[in-house]
Amino acid sequence: MEKSNQPHVIVLPYPSQGHINPLLQFAKRLAAKGVRATLATTTNTMQSVHTSAVAVEPISDGFDDAGFAEAGKEGDYLSSIREHGSKSLARLLDNHKAAGFPVSCVIYDAFFPWALDVARRHGALGAAFFTNSATVCAIFSHIHSGALTLPVNVEDEPLVLPGLPPLNSCDVPTFIRNPQSYPAYLAMKLSQFSNLEKADFVFANTFHQLERQEAESVEKQWPAKLVGPMLPSAYLDGRIEGDKGYGASLWKPLSEQCSAWLSTKAQESVIYISFGSMVSVSSKQMEEMAWALTSTNSDFLWVVRETERDKLPPGFTESVKGKGLIVSWCNQLETLAHPAIGCFVTHCGWNSTLEGLALGVPMVALPQWSDQVTDAKFIEEIWGVGVRAKEDKSGVAGREELLYCLKEVMEERGHKLRSNARKWRKLAMEATDQGGSSDNAINQFVMKLKVATAVEN
């Protein structure tokens, strides 16, 4: 069978919401530029992906019925997805070659360095895609190179690394301050660099204007092309027709209910609170947040997953009717883009951070673990788009502290923070638009794929 002259990529994300979304969005960007794109995701998450822009095919993680929930332990799941994912990715590559659409490149989540070996064995190029900030990637790169050893002790003085601002203890990723807290995830973070020097391409979901210095500081160890922010085109450059959502949601959003409620509120009058798809907030922290929201002068929309509902104070939901809307999930992009939103209270996951920046919404940073603490520092001190809630000795941001932060964003410093947020929104739009830094980086990749495909044929 004659081979197709069209470059073909398989995009392989780690099977969680925060990883599927940016990699799926990258696949859509490539498809809009003439590349045949196939998203390969686990059988369990495949049913949650709905997009006509790219093909979607299953790979196995060894737990096809319930995914991670079936595995139970992080280490068991990661071992299983490596074993079963390698085999099913290999079959997928073979099947596409037999059908006349050989894969030019496997773009794999950097959590899956084993995918590079599979790609190479099948004659395809390999591209690692990092879903964290360039800053966080730079920190882990220094650990991998041996320039930084674990555990990182920054109690006495700040951590100073080339190209990065000084990082105090509260700014350093929790995994490296306390390596024993989540050993399986720490091992996965470090494995991202295990064979990176062999990858043909390295990409990161950030953009030049946002983290140029941080990325350039480790470009010899981490030669990443900055292609973000990976948000649907409708919220940035508008060049992909109909691209209004990611196309993947592991939860059913309540868009209509949220939109209808927001439409009754004044411009920039509503506080939006969401801690993402994975973070579990303590009952005490939920109680303190509830009190602060009750005490503020602003209305609020709070996303509380069903598994977290029992942490709300008794009678709270009924007591705030009219002032507050509490939902189990909503379309975050639509919500942040709504003119009624004046503040975003976030756990500072990288996707949520990018969405807040790209939509121009000032933030209250309430990081919980991992890399979120580093993102929070940049939100407040480097990009100037928010304030960070300070925790007490028990690791909880108290009600008075939260109320202070909410008032700072909604009232006292609102004008300055919103002005900075609008600046970053403009820069994010410029990066993704035609001729922007991220768009140019993607175009260069597509050109190299076309050349490689032509040579192969």
pLDDT value of residue 457:
63
Could you check whether 8-247+432-456 and 255-428 share the same CATH topology?
yes
Cα angle, residue 234 at apex, residues 233 and 236 outer, rounded to 5°: 65
Once rounded to an integer, what is the mean pLDDT over residues 384-413? Answer: 96
Whether the CB-CB separation of 366 and 397 falls below 8 Å is answered with yes
- pLDDT exceeds cutoff 70 at 64: yes
What confidence category does residue 280 fall into, taking pLDDT thresholds of 50, 70 and 90? Answer: confident
pLDDT value of residue 3:
60
Compute the distance between CA of residue 20 and CA of residue 40 in angstroms, rounded to an integer.
10
Q: How many residues does the chain have?
A: 457
Q: In Å, how far from its chain's centre is CA 178?
A: 23
For residue 202, what are the contacts with CB-CB under 8 A and spacing of at least 6? 127, 128, 130, 196, 222, 223, 224, 225
Domain spans, the chain? 8-247+432-456, 255-428
- pLDDT exceeds cutoff 80 at 372: yes
Question: pLDDT tens digits for 444-454?
Answer: 999 999 998 88
pLDDT value of residue 58:
95
pLDDT value of residue 109:
98
Q: Name which of 92, 53, 100, 98 is nearest 108 in CA terms.
A: 92
Q: Name which of 207, 13, 236, 31 is nearest 108 in CA terms.
A: 13
109 flagged as catalytic: yes
Q: What percent of the chain has pLDDT over 90?
A: 81
pLDDT value of residue 1:
41
Question: pLDDT tens digits for 239-265?
Answer: 999 999 897 665 566 678 899 999 999
Instruction: Tell me the average pLDDT of the chain.
Output: 93
Q: Name which of 137, 208, 215 is nearest 173 in CA terms.
A: 137
The helix (run of H) or strand (run of E) holding residue 272 is: strand 270-274
- pLDDT exceeds cutoff 60 at 170: yes
Question: pLDDT tens digits for 190-223?
Answer: 999 999 999 999 999 999 999 999 999 999 999 9
From the candidates 8, 19, 208, 338, give the one annotated as an active-site residue.
19
From the candidates 8, 61, 109, 439, give the one annotated as an active-site residue.
109
pLDDT value of residue 456:
72
Pairing of strands 201-204, 299-303: unpaired
Compute the distance between CA of residue 12 and CA of residue 61 in angstroms, rounded to an integer.
12
Compute the distance between CA of residue 396 and CA of residue 386 in angstroms, rounded to an integer.
19
Q: Is 101 left (phi over 0), alpha (psi -120 to 50) or beta?
A: beta
- pLDDT exceeds cutoff 80 at 338: yes
Question: pLDDT tens digits for 21-61?
Answer: 999 999 999 999 999 999 999 998 988 888 888 999 999 99
Compute the distance between CA of residue 305 and CA of residue 275 in angstroms, rounded to an integer.
9
Whether the CB-CB separation of 15 and 67 falls below 8 Å is answered with yes
Q: Name which of 272, 439, 242 is nearest 355 in CA terms.
A: 272
Residue 40's Cβ-side half-sphere holds a number of Cα atoms within 13 Å equal to: 28
What confidence category does residue 69 fall into, taking pLDDT thresholds of 50, 70 and 90? Answer: confident
Whether the CB-CB separation of 214 and 138 falls below 8 Å is answered with yes
pLDDT value of residue 250:
58
- pLDDT exceeds cutoff 80 at 7: yes
Per CATH, which fold does 255-428 belong to?
Rossmann fold (3.40.50)
Once rounded to an integer, what is the mean pLDDT over residues 279-305? Answer: 95
- pLDDT exceeds cutoff 50 at 340: yes
CATH class of 8-247+432-456: alpha beta
Q: Name which of 39, 71, 74 is nearest 55 in CA terms.
A: 39
Strands (E), 4-144: 8-12, 36-42, 55-59, 105-109, 125-130
